[in-house]
Amino acid sequence: MGCRLIRILFVCHGNICRSPMAEFIMKDRVRQAGCEEKFLIASAATTTDDLGSDMYPLAKEELRKHGIPFERRQARQLRRGEYGYWDYIVAMDGENLADIPELLGPDTEHKVRLLLSFAGENRPVSDPWYTRDFAAAYRDISLGCEALLEEALRARA
């Protein structure tokens, strides 16, 4: 496959909590693994609810607790036509999983998966927007990102 980047897009409802947390956690994991140059990692929303908003303050606080660097960003929605660009389109829950094909078209290459499926768990990432439990979301996302990183590197080996 040469030097082509492994492209990962994390997706949640508004792109202000779980998917940007996953984006920055994964960027940190690939940096720690010494393979930053092999990855392109981003995040997006399935809805227009929070377009242009930065990451939610409590999500930033949780990342700070774990020493995960992040930067100011703006929530964006998935765009039709970008399906072919990504290798992994990673949903945080079943609702996101159902919404993604409506925005991107059919998942003909089986790129769309739940994050925790990479860790062998068929369940959603805990949604801190409703629970206010950002620590639980962090644990779920970390678990999924570790497993996704292993799979992505194995697939490219």
The residues annotated with a catalytic role in the active site are 12, 18, 127
C-alpha 115 chain-centroid distance: 7
Residue 48, classed as helix, strand or coil, is coil
| Angle between helix 18-32 and helix 57-65 axes, rounded to 10 deg | 30
- What residues contact residue 58 under an 8 Å CB cut-off, 6+ apart? 17, 128, 132, 134
Q: With 0-12 CB in 10 A as exposed, 13-18 as middle and 19+ as buried, what is 45?
A: buried
Locate all alpha helices (DSSP H) within 33-133, ordered by sequence. 57-65, 94-104, 128-131
Which residue has 């030097």 as its token pair? 3
DSSP class of residue 77 equals B
